């Protein structure tokens, strides 16, 4: 009887050791993930959608009377982004140790953009943090809606173009070589379009790896160049001069400039600081240059309209509305009206482009694929004519 009990004890001990090992391994994995999130936190970019939800919820909690630390603690548990959860925790700990909210969020510039940090600073100074966060959340929500509309409009043409490229490559690499063998057996001279297509197919088939690597390198070099100051200027100039797309990008940039400037002025941010924030948040070299000139003119005692009047990037309506706002002393209201007008213009333009893209892309696909098919069947047609003659 004692032998049985001792063996049972040994079995239970070995089982408990296995459980401890499993628990220990799981805990070590969790800690490793936690350390990985903590390392990524200072450079982590939070999606605008997540930042919008965070701002809305934080403003609502503060408006309901919850303390800031308690609100951040609740939001830390709710967020689905693991790295953002670490960021909120660090901000909460900083505030609990005596730092201000604005100083805490400034430590994470990629998570909290310039507009958010500046508005938080203005809210703390005025004692109206919940009201200002509500305004910022509305602005972010409008921005998210606009981005989604533009992306949804671009999704269809981009998908069709990628499909066309993939289909053309399949035809050139796999289908046309089969026709080439058949034409070689005929021994007849091929029409120029057919011969050119076969030459392209032969080159692509023999250099497919070079094409893929070259495309990746070209894409990376182009992206790197477009992120430089000179590259950004060239990109904005080319985009502005493009038909249809240029006007759309201009409307988006002007609307964003007006909306951001209006919300900053209405929240009590000094005009020179507001211009600096708008410049950095715009992502457009035309707006950045205009903001610098406006700051210089205001320092010299001038007005915003003086700069906009000599800038062709800003439409006449913006110039007239700005001058009216200066005369009435209601700049923020005028800029909001301008932004509302251009937002409706953007919606109608995007809707028009979406409906126009479908027939254009169908014609594009028909020309490209039809041209390839016709080039491959030309020798067969010629043979039929010869036999018929």
At the top level of CATH, which class does the domain 48-112 belong to?
Answer: mainly alpha
Instruction: Answer whether 286's CB lies under 8 Å from 377's CB.
Output: no
Alpha helices in 283-330 (DSSP H): 285-299, 304-308, 316-328
**Average pLDDT of 235-245?**
89
Which residues of the chain does CATH 1.20.81.30 include? 48-112, 142-389
Is the per-residue pLDDT at 17 higher than 70? Answer: no
- pLDDT(4) > 70: no
pTM, two decimal places: 0.75
Give dist(CA 300, CA 293) in Å, integer.
Answer: 11
Token couple for 28:
């070590």
Say yes or no to pLDDT of 118 above 90. Answer: no
- With beta carbons less than 8 A apart as the criterion, state whether 291 and 280 touch: no
CB 241 within 8 A of CB 223: no
Question: The domain 142-389 belongs to what CATH superfamily?
Answer: Type II secretion system (T2SS), domain F (1.20.81.30)
Output the pLDDT for position 235.
Answer: 93
pLDDT surpasses 90 at 58: yes
Q: How many other C-beta atoms are found inside a 10 Å radius of the C-beta of residue 9?
A: 10
- Judged against a pLDDT cut of 60, whether residue 121 lies above it is answered with yes
Give the percent of the chain with pLDDT over 90: 26
Both structure tokens of 309? 């009047």
* Residue reference for tokens 């951001």: 260
Would you call 35 exposed, middle or buried from its count of C-beta atoms within 10 A (0-12, 13-18, 19+)?
exposed
> Helix (H, G, I), strand (E, B), or coil: what is residue 47?
coil
pLDDT digits (tens, 9 = 90+) for 129-152: 888 898 888 888 888 888 888 788
Which has the closest alpha carbon to 142: 274, 52, 57, 60? 52
Higher pLDDT pick, 110 / 386: 110
Residue 150 has a pLDDT of: 79
pLDDT value at 21 more than 90: no
| pLDDT value at 41 more than 90 | no
Tokens matching residue 283: 């992502």
What pLDDT does residue 250 have? 92
Cα(208)–Cα(213) distance, rounded to whole angstroms?
9
55 vs 65: CA distance, rounded Å: 16
What is the CB neighbour count within 10 angstroms for residue 269? 22
State the average pLDDT over residues 284-307: 92
| CA distance linking residue 335 with residue 356, whole number of Å | 31
Question: What pLDDT band is residue 265 in, cutting at 50, 70 and 90?
Answer: confident
The pair of structure tokens assigned to 377 is 């069947």
Q: State residue 164's pLDDT score.
A: 84
- Residues 2-31 have a mean pLDDT of 54
Is 300 a residue whose pLDDT tops 60? yes
Q: Report whether 139 contacts 260 (CB < 8 A).
A: yes
Q: Would the pLDDT of 359 be above 60?
A: yes
Bigger pLDDT: 208 vs 257: 257
Q: What is the pLDDT of residues 170-209, one digit of tens each?
A: 888 888 888 787 777 776 677 888 888 888 888 888 888 8
92 neighbors 72 (Cβ within 8 angstroms): yes
142 and 259 Cβ atoms separated by less than 8 Å: yes
Residues 119 and 132: their CA atoms lie apart, in Å, by: 7
C-beta neighbour count of 212 within 10 angstroms: 10
Query: Higher model confidence: residue 281 or residue 311?
Result: 311
């Amino acid at each position: 009887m004692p032998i049985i009990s001792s063996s049972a004890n040994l079995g239970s001990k070995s089982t408990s050791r296995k459980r401890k090992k499993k628990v220990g391994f799981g805990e070590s994995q969790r800690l490793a993930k936690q350390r990985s999130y903590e390392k990524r936190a200072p450079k982590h970019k939070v999606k605008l959608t997540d930042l919008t939800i965070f701002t809305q919820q934080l403003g609502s909690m503060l408006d309901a009377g919850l303390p800031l630390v308690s609100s951040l603690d609740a939001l830390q548990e709710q967020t689905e982004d693991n790295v953002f959860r670490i960021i909120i925790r660090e901000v909460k700990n900083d505030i609990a140790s005596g730092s201000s909210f604005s100083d805490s969020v400034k430590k994470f510039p990629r998570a909290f953009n310039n507009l958010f940090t500046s508005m938080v600073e203005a809210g703390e100074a005025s004692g109206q943090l919940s009201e200002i966060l509500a305004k910022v959340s509305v602005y972010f929500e409008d921005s998210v809606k606009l981005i989604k509309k533009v992306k949804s409009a671009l999704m269809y043409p981009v998908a069709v173009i990628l499909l066309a490229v993939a289909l053309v490559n399949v035809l050139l690499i796999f289908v046309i070589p089969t026709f080439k063998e058949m034409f070689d057996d005929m021994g007849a001279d091929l029409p120029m379009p057919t011969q050119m297509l076969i030459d392209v197919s032969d080159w692509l088939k023999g250099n497919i790896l070079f094409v893929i690597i070259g495309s990746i390198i070209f894409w990376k070099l182009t992206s790197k160049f477009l992120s430089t100051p000179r590259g950004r200027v060239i990109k904005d100039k080319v985009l502005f001069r493009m038909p249809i797309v240029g006007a759309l990008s201009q409307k988006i940039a002007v609307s964003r400039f007006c909306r951001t400037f209006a919300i900053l002025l209405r929240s009590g941010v000094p005009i020179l600081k507001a211009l600096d924030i708008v410049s950095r948040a715009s992502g457009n070299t035309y707006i950045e240059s205009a903001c610098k000139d406006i700051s210089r003119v205001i320092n010299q005692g001038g007005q915003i309209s003086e700069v906009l009047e000599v800038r062709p990037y800003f439409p006449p309506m913006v110039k007239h509305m700005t001058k009216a706002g200066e005369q009435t002393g209601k700049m923020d209201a005028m800029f909001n009206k301008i932004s509302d007008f251009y937002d409706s213009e953007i919606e109608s333009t995007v809707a028009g482009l979406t409906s126009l893209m479908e027939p254009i892309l169908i014609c594009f696909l028909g020309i490209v694929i039809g041209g390839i098919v016709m080039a491959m069947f030309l020798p067969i047609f010629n043979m039929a004519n010869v036999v018929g003659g």
